């Protein structure tokens, strides 16, 4: 029988932070993409609870977590995550982040190196300076419309993802995105203000970069991996949400990296 998923709140500088947790063993922190929540990690919570203590945070401003008092940059998101972990009694953990969550995970590994044992960056946002500037220009508020057309904007955005979404998952993502919509652009702005390529050489933890071949960031991943002192790159069949497309394969990839001997070739 699967371990039950625990739910709760801790306090961080950003306010209340909601989390899901399950299992026992070495701690694996899970950080989601904008504008979803820790719910997106439930396939891993149910599959790895017998091997790890998994903690999936709703990052500040998403899911059931309070929005930060002012727009955050990546160092502030990382500090809020570190404070939430401290409140949960975690002093050392593996970290897995997806899209925005990968940007936060990268910042956490640089700013709190003693906290991060191994690092998995799932589709970490990267690209040329022109690409970064273009994405920054896109990170603007989506106005709420009297006719509700902003709701269809969200639906169309999610339908454009490279992972085909079943109706129940599409519905859940639309709800999460709509709740976060007024301030979701702040997280995207923080992502593209961060200079991931400059942070990578400062990461001490062994690192896995993992991306679906149809993901936006697959083309730059191998070059990005070369910037890390200790990193490998895996580009696998699939789209944006590998953890939803084939959770068994995804779980096996993550567990294999986290449990391999430190000095394996």
* Average pLDDT score over residue span 38-65: 97
DSSP character at residue 200: G
**pLDDT the model gives residue 221:** 97
On whether residue 265 sits in a domain, the answer given is no
E strands, the chain, are 6-12, 15-23, 27-31, 53-57, 93-98, 116-122, 207-212, 231-236
Query: pLDDT tens, 208-235?
Result: 999 999 999 999 999 999 999 999 999 9
Number of domains composing the chain: 1
2 pLDDT exceeds 80? no
What backbone phi and psi angles, to 5 degrees, belong to 15? 120, -150
Main-chain phi, psi angles of 152, to 5 degrees: -70, -30
- pLDDT band of residue 4 (cuts 50, 70, 90) is confident
Between CA 161 and CA 5 the distance in angstroms is 28
> What is the DSSP track for 226-249?
TTSSSEEEEEES--S-HHHH-HHH
Q: Is residue 1 part of a domain?
A: no
In the chain, what is the straight-line distance between the N-terminal and C-terminal CA atoms, in Å? 36
SS3 128: coil
Evaluate if residue 62 carries a pLDDT over 90: yes
pLDDT value for 120: 98
* Domain region containing 197: 6-259
Q: Give the chain's mean pLDDT.
A: 95
CB 177 within 8 A of CB 144: no
- Considering the domain boundaries, does residue 157 fall inside one? yes
> pTM for the complete prediction?
0.97
CATH number at residue 186: 3.40.50.1820
pLDDT of residue 158: 94
pLDDT bucket at 262, cuts 50 / 70 / 90: confident
For residue 264, pLDDT beyond 60:
no
């Amino acid at each position: 029988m699967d371990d039950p998923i625990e739910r709760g709140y801790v306090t961080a500088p950003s306010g209340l932070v909601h989390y899901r947790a399950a299992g026992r063993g070495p701690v694996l922190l899970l950080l989601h993409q904008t504008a979803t929540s820790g719910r997106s990690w439930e396939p891993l919570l149910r599959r790895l609870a017998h091997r790890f203590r998994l903690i999936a945070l709703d990052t500040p401003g998403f899911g059931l977590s309070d929005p930060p008092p002012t727009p955050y940059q990546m160092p502030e998101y990382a500090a809020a995550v570190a404070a939430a972990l401290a409140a949960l009694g975690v002093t050392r953990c593996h970290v897995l982040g997806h899209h925005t969550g990968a940007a936060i995970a990268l910042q956490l590994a640089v700013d709190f190196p003693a906290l991060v044992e191994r690092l998995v960056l799932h589709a970490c946002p990267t690209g040329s300076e022109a690409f970064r500037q273009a994405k920054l220009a896109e990170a603007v508020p989506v106005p709420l419309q009297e006719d509700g057309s902003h709701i269809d904007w969200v639906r169309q955005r999610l339908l454009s993802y490279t992972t085909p979404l079943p109706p129940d998952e599409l519905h859940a993502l639309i709800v999460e995105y709509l709740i976060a919509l007024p301030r979701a652009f702040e997280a995207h702005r923080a992502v593209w203000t961060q200079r991931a390529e400059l942070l990578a050489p400062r990461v001490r933890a062994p690192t896995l970069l993992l991306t679906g071949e149809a993901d936006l960031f697959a083309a730059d991943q191998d070059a990005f991996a070369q910037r890390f002192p200790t990193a490998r790159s895996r580009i696998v069949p699939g789209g944006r949400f590998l953890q939803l497309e084939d959770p068994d394969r995804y779980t096996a990839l993550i567990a294999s990296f986290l449990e391999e001997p430190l000095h394996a070739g």
